[in-house]
Amino acid sequence: MPAYSDSLRGYAYSVHLRDDFKCQYCGLDGTQSFDAWLAPSLDHLLRKGHPKRNDPAFQVTACSFCNVADNQYFANAQTRGITFDGKTREELVAQRLPYVHKTRADYQSYWQSKLRLASS
24, 61 contact by CB (below 8 A): yes
- Rounded CA separation 103/105 (Å): 5
Tell me how far apart the alpha carbons of residues 118 and 11 are, in angstroms, rounded to a whole number. Answer: 41
Answer yes or no: is 6 within a domain.
no
* pTM confidence score: 0.89
Over residues 8-21, the pLDDT tens digits come to 999 999 999 999 99
Domain count, the chain: 1
Model confidence pLDDT, tens digit, residues 87-98? 999 999 999 999
Give the pLDDT band of residue 84 (cuts 50, 70, 90).
Answer: very high
- For residues 42 and 34, the answer to whether their CB atoms sit within 8 Å is no
Q: Domain for residue 21, yes or no?
A: yes
Range of the domain at 47: 13-116
Identify whether 8 is part of a domain: no
pLDDT interval class at 22 (50, 70, 90): very high
